[in-house]
């Protein structure tokens, strides 16, 4: 699965939940928040993939989604202009790396995490703050 295909899947799943870009508050130098963090899968850095933050309209946040590639070290940083995004509540989706498409890792990666409406992941971005949001995905065997 290419980055384009993963983003298309995520965008398709969120089309019904994202309204026209009116913003949770337009990102301004003093009001926007910086968001970065690390993604791990089974206690290892998830090298590659995508993190997507979608405004949560149910919590009053509308506007555009924000996405970032996950680095080989598992790090990401969302950016909009001056490396900040508008404050508000966001639903989060994680797309696994395209190299995993035919691997055992892809079969183990929870498909719900690829969709912000099903992932159960939410984060609040507060005005003017630096946020570290780490996502640690651990699967238990039964």
Q: Are 93 and 115 in contact (CB under 8 A)?
A: yes
Q: Are 49 and 89 in contact (CB under 8 A)?
A: no
Q: Are 49 and 96 in contact (CB under 8 A)?
A: yes
pLDDT on residue 14: 44
| Residue-wise pLDDT tens digits, 37-82 | 999 998 999 989 999 999 999 998 888 889 999 999 999 998 755 5
pLDDT on residue 140: 75
- pLDDT of 98 higher than 90: no
Q: Are 22 and 63 in contact (CB under 8 A)?
A: yes
Q: What is the pTM of this model?
A: 0.76
Q: Are 126 and 97 in contact (CB under 8 A)?
A: no
In three-state secondary structure terms, 10 is helix
CA distance 142 to 67: 33
pLDDT on residue 91: 97
pLDDT on residue 80: 58
What domains, with CATH codes, occur in the chain?
A: 3-16+32-131 (2.60.40.1120)
Residue partners of 22: CB distance under 8 A and separation at least 6: 62, 63
């Amino acid at each position: 699965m290419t980055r384009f295909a993963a983003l298309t899947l995520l965008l398709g799943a969120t089309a019904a939940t994202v309204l026209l870009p009116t913003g949770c508050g337009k990102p301004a130098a003093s009001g926007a928040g910086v968001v970065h963090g690390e993604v791990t899968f089974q206690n290892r850095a998830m090298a590659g993939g995508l993190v997507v933050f979608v405004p949560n309209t149910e919590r009053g946040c509308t506007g555009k989604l924000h996405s970032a590639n996950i680095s080989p070290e598992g790090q990401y940083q969302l950016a909009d202009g001056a490396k900040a995004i508008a404050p508000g509540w966001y639903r989060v989706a994680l797309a696994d790396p395209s190299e995993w498409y035919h691997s055992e890792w892809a079969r183990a990666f929870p498909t719900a995490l690829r969709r912000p409406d099903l992932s159960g992941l939410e984060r609040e971005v507060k005005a003017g703050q630096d946020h570290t949001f780490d996502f640690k995905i651990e699967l238990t065997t039964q």
